[in-house]
Structure 1
Amino acid sequence: MCKEPTSGEVFVFLNRNRNLIKLLHWEHGGFVIYYKKLERGTFVPPVPSSGPQSIRWPELVMMIEGIQVEKFRQKPRYELAEN
């Protein structure tokens, strides 16, 4: 994936049936895995907006909570320029 695992990013893994999600995150001292299995239904991954393999935090939270948005309009927000 060409990413640094200790960068603080959250890595998201879905199984083939999309009823199981694992989130891998580095915190001070080691990795943390968050795991959720649905008894009914599936996780619907959002269409990535900021890159081919990345999603924003609000999209991840909505996916985990089972919220699927059909139409939306993102209002512009201030962002710091990257170095």
Structure 2
Amino acid sequence: MFINKLCTGMKILHMEYGGLVIYHMKLSIGHFSLPRIDFQEGKAVSHETLWSDLVLMVQGIDAQKVKRRKRWIPAK
């Protein structure tokens, strides 16, 4: 996932069975609300994001303010 400096544009590189897919979204009003990112020695560290959090981000919903309820998750 790549986000520009103003947090108004986002590109996502996603791997599918047939190859790579690029999703691109540019906001004309507002900006994306990003998750908190840790820095080590002045450099950003890779951050794993759940698909559900990504969908909330694209829809303009702050994932940190969402109340998550327990759900059954099948055993692997």
TM over 0.5: yes
Provide structure 1 residue ranges, at least 5 long, that are not aligned to the other structure. 1-11
1:40 alignment partner, one of 29, 34, 49? 29
Percent identity, aligned pairs only, is 37
Distance (whole Å) between structure 1 residues aligned to residue 75 and residue 67 of structure 2: 22
CA RMSD in angstroms comes to 2.4
**Helix, strand or coil at the partner of 1:54:** coil
TM-score by length of 1: 0.64
Distance (whole Å) between structure 1 residues aligned to residue 8 and residue 57 of structure 2: 11
Aligned equivalent of 2:40? none
Contact 2:32 2:57 in 1 (8 A): yes
Q: Using the TM superposition, give the Cα deviation of residue 74 of structure 1 relative to its aligned residue in structure 2, in angstroms.
A: 1.7
Which segment drifts farther, 55-64 or 65-74? 65-74
TM-score by length of 2: 0.68
Q: Which amino acid aligns with 2:20?
A: F
Q: Using the TM superposition, give the Cα deviation of residue 56 of structure 1 relative to its aligned residue in structure 2, in angstroms.
A: 1.7
Report runs of 4+ in structure 1 exceeding 4 Å deviation: none
Q: How many residue pairs are counted as aligned between the two chains?
A: 68
